[in-house]
Homo-oligomer: A and B are copies of this chain.
Amino acid sequence: VLRQTEPGLCADPDLAVARALAPELRASGWKGRAVLRDGELIAVKAPGGRVLGLAVDLGTTNISGFLVDLEDGKTLAATGLENPQTIYGNDLISYASHIRRVPEGAAQLQQLAVDALNTLAGELCAACGLKPADIVEMTVAGNTMMHHLLLGLPVRHLSATPFTPALASAIDVKARELGIAVAPGAYVHLLPNIAGFVGGDHVAVLLASMGKSKRPVIAMDIGTNTEISLIAGGEVTSVSCPSGPAFEGGHIGCGMRAAVGAIEKVRVTATGVEVKTIENAPPVGICGSGVLDAVAQMVLAGIVDRRGTMHEGHPCVRDRDGVRELVLADKAAGGGNAVTFTQDDVRALQLAKAAIAAGTELLLQRAGLEAADLDRIIIAGAFGHYIDVASAIAVGLLPDLAPERFAQVGNAAGEGARQALVSRRRRARAQEIAGLARYVELAGSKAFLPAFSKRIGFAAPRRAEPISQETVETT
């Protein structure tokens, strides 16, 4: 993206750079390197000065940042922080309703995003003994709502059908125009959006993970909204599934985010339940991968039937106040919280997995394909990184393919943002992908509701063998 040269003022200077240029060059004895961007002089570095970039995955609940040395493309530091916008809610719908209720709501959310980016830049630089003022270029991959809020674009049409983004194409903005305190001449490049519910974060996922396979590939980023793209025959078709917050621990009785003490693995044996918590701490609640495991294990154990109804008979299943639940952790036993998984929690998981499975099926149907035709299923995102694929298959969230066909690629959105930061060619490729992608609105598809209904239940357990007795670590 950037070019460096001896300063000769042949380039168009940025105004802020021009203001500081003469004093700075005087201070450095008229020695320095010019940082050019599309022919614009965006910084002048004193000898030894660093030329840094910051790639950001701006998620609804979490923000990840990657500090990169733009001279050799190496990542110097990476970190994450909770999106402070979550003080107004945990999902896009909460943000949209805050904006509708409060006149300055959008400005508040924008300021929180800007504050977070400044914090991120400060923390990453501090970790390396560097200064945010040396960051001359940023990329941000966010969903369409995050993108709009950061830019101060109108979001009214994002939260109502037909969910039209105010801006889909990539945009370059001076960081200072957004209040981001990096180099005065720095730009922020925001990756393009595909649609109102398929944003730059998904484009970044596709950029980072699409690869060159000639055979059909599906890429998905599981979250409150699950974006799924089918890449087949040179075409990209994308949907966004309203999967709800179950995978982030939301709308689950004892649900919590993936933090210390969250139950992340569950094994139901014939005689009891074994759980593993994050950092093996006393159990506090259950996070997304635990939710998936719990339901999968109950299905495999026959506790949950094909319609999703929980049945008695297992020693850990009980009825309390008329609600049937599986006891995952007993307060008495460990010292943590009592954690249970209720019939309602099973229903929440059913809605989520059915939406994703129906979205996947619809994409395959439209292309005349079946799951078996897929070369790979790429699962991006933090949640996707930690799930047990076998559990996801067991509940019907993922198609029943061999394990090697699944690639759990972690934070591909962040990796895509990093690639777009260091490479003009990758940035152009992101724009190409976004332009290529056709968005299919599930709410407007007659085939969605039947597919969803068909997927709401569970298949009969594949395995006739008894439930694994393999011991997992217990708290």
Question: Which residues does chain B contribute within 8 Å of A22, judged by CB atoms?
Answer: 153-154, 157, 164-167
Asked whether any CB of chain B lies closer than 8 Å to the CB of A9, the reply is yes
A136-184 CB contacts (< 8 Å) to partner B:
151-154, 157, 164-173, 177
Question: Which residues does chain B contribute within 8 Å of A18, judged by CB atoms?
Answer: 151, 153, 166-167, 171
Question: Which residues does chain B contribute within 8 Å of A171, judged by CB atoms?
Answer: 12-13, 15, 18
A1-53 CB contacts (< 8 Å) to partner B:
9-13, 15, 18-19, 21-23
Contact at B23–A154, with CB atoms within 8 Å?
yes
Residue of B nearest to A172 (CB): B12
Question: Which residues does chain B contribute within 8 Å of A12, judged by CB atoms?
Answer: 169-172
Contact at B21–A166, with CB atoms within 8 Å?
yes
Contact at B9–A153, with CB atoms within 8 Å?
no
Min CB gap A285→B, angstroms: 40
Contact at A166–B19, with CB atoms within 8 Å?
yes
Contact at B13–A153, with CB atoms within 8 Å?
no
Min CB gap A22→B, angstroms: 4
Within the complex, which residue of B11, B19, B165 is in contact with A153, where a contact is CB–CB below 8 Å?
A: B19
Residue of B nearest to A192 (CB): B9
Residue of B nearest to A188 (CB): B15
Question: Which residues does chain B contribute within 8 Å of A170, judged by CB atoms?
Answer: 12
A276-302 CB contacts (< 8 Å) to partner B:
none
Min CB gap A267→B, angstroms: 50
Contact at A9–B154, with CB atoms within 8 Å?
no
1/0 contact string of A69-98 vs chain B (CB within 8 Å): 000000000000000000000000000000
Contact at B10–A177, with CB atoms within 8 Å?
no
Contact at A152–B19, with CB atoms within 8 Å?
yes
The answer for the CA separation of A13 and B23 in the assembled complex, in Å, is 33
Residue of B nearest to A10 (CB): B169
Contact at B151–A9, with CB atoms within 8 Å?
no
Question: Which residues does chain B contribute within 8 Å of A152, judged by CB atoms?
Answer: 15, 19
Question: Which residues does chain B contribute within 8 Å of A177, judged by CB atoms?
Answer: 15
Residue of B nearest to A40 (CB): B172
Min CB gap A187→B, angstroms: 11
The answer for the CA separation of A157 and B25 in the assembled complex, in Å, is 13
Within the complex, which residue of B10, B15, B173 is in contact with A173, where a contact is CB–CB below 8 Å?
A: B15
Min CB gap A123→B, angstroms: 26
Within the complex, which residue of B9, B165, B166, B168 is in contact with A167, where a contact is CB–CB below 8 Å?
A: B9
Question: Which residues does chain B contribute within 8 Å of A154, judged by CB atoms?
Answer: 19, 22-23
Residue of B nearest to A11 (CB): B169
Residue of B nearest to A164 (CB): B22
The answer for the CA separation of A436 and B166 in the assembled complex, in Å, is 46
The answer for the CA separation of A286 and B182 in the assembled complex, in Å, is 56
A99-154 CB contacts (< 8 Å) to partner B:
151-154
Within the complex, which residue of B19, B168, B172 is in contact with A9, where a contact is CB–CB below 8 Å?
A: B168
Min CB gap A388→B, angstroms: 42
The answer for the CA separation of A152 and B20 in the assembled complex, in Å, is 10
Within the complex, which residue of B13, B165, B166, B173 is in contact with A169, where a contact is CB–CB below 8 Å?
A: B13
Residue of B nearest to A177 (CB): B15
Question: Which residues does chain B contribute within 8 Å of A21, judged by CB atoms?
Answer: 166-167
Contact at A151–B13, with CB atoms within 8 Å?
no
Contact at A9–B173, with CB atoms within 8 Å?
no
- Provided the pairs A18-B153, A151-B18, A153-B18 are in contact, do residues A167 and B23 lie with their beta carbons within 8 angstroms? no
Question: Which residues does chain B contribute within 8 Å of A167, judged by CB atoms?
Answer: 9, 13, 18, 21-22
Question: Which residues does chain B contribute within 8 Å of A10, judged by CB atoms?
Answer: 169
Residue of B nearest to A155 (CB): B22
Question: Which residues does chain B contribute within 8 Å of A15, judged by CB atoms?
Answer: 151-152, 171, 173, 177
Min CB gap A19→B, angstroms: 5
The answer for the CA separation of A295 and B35 in the assembled complex, in Å, is 56
A-B contact pairs, 14 of them (CB 8 A): A9-B167, A12-B170, A13-B169, A15-B151, A15-B171, A15-B177, A18-B153, A18-B166, A18-B171, A19-B151, A19-B153, A22-B153, A22-B165, A23-B154
- Extra contacts, 11 of them, besides A15-B177, A18-B151, A19-B152 (Cβ < 8 A), are A9-B168, A9-B169, A10-B169, A12-B172, A18-B167, A19-B154, A21-B167, A22-B153, A22-B154, A22-B165, A22-B167
Return the 6 tightest CB-CB contacts between A and B, nearest first: A22-B166, A18-B167, A9-B169, A15-B173, A19-B153, A13-B171
